[in-house]
Structure 1
Amino acid sequence: MIAVHLAILSITALIGLVFSYLAITERDLLKAVAYSAVQAIAYAIIFYLLMAPDIVLAYVAIAVGIYSALLIFVIGKTGRYEVV
């Protein structure tokens, strides 16, 4: 049972790392926000596996919900693509 938890923990940590990299290197800001949301979901799964349900509830509400919505609103007011 512990091996399964460690495997899931490792996979979600790798997914979070990959999507963090994609969010940083993406030129399209809406895609970067989507990658950031996927990264936040992966980290929420990690927190859940580490038995921190209070952190999971706060992290999902802020990182996936409010943060993503605020960034999409700001991107809508400015430009979608990063200018080089």
Structure 2
Amino acid sequence: MVELHLVILVLALMLGFVASYLAVTERDLLKAVGFSSVQAIAYAIVFYILMAPDIVLAYVAIAVGIYSALLVFAISKTERYEVV
């Protein structure tokens, strides 16, 4: 029987990869920031499963909190949609 933490690890990694792809290909910059936050949360779950709680605390605070807020502020000063 496959252990539950390995299944959660694989699902979180897959979610992180999909969110990373969507963040890179998205033309709406606010949606891209949202996908980047989802990716950061998925990787925080991975770090937690790998028993690195100190990295989780720093990663969530920086990647989800400060980084996302800074990007939303920067996008508010520019155009929301990427121009080709």
TM-score under structure 1 length normalisation: 0.97
Aligned equivalent of 2:14 = 14
**What is the rounded CA distance, in whole Å, between the counterparts of 1:34 and 1:11 in structure 2?**
19
User: Per-residue deviation at 1:3?
Assistant: 1.2
Aligned equivalent of 2:56 = 56
Q: What is the correspondence of 1:61-76 to structure 2 with a 5 Å cutoff?
A: 61-76=61-76
Q: Structure 1 residues 2 and 53 mapped into 2: Cα distance closer, same or farther (>3 Å)? A: farther
Q: Residues 29-66 of structure 1, C-alpha deviation per residue, up to 9 Å, x if partnerless?
A: 00000000000000000000000000000000000000
Tell me how large the CA RMSD over aligned residues is.
1.2
**What is the rounded CA distance, in whole Å, between the counterparts of 1:3 and 1:25 in structure 2?**
34
3-state SS of the aligned residue for 2:81? coil
**What is the rounded CA distance, in whole Å, between the counterparts of 2:20 and 2:58 in structure 1?**
20
Q: Percent identity among equivalent residues?
A: 74
**What is the rounded CA distance, in whole Å, between the counterparts of 1:44 and 1:32 in structure 2?**
18
TM-score under structure 2 length normalisation: 0.97
3-state SS of the aligned residue for 1:21? helix
User: Per-residue deviation at 1:2?
Assistant: 6.7
**What is the rounded CA distance, in whole Å, between the counterparts of 1:42 and 1:66 in structure 2?**
17
**What is the rounded CA distance, in whole Å, between the counterparts of 2:5 and 2:31 in structure 1?**
30
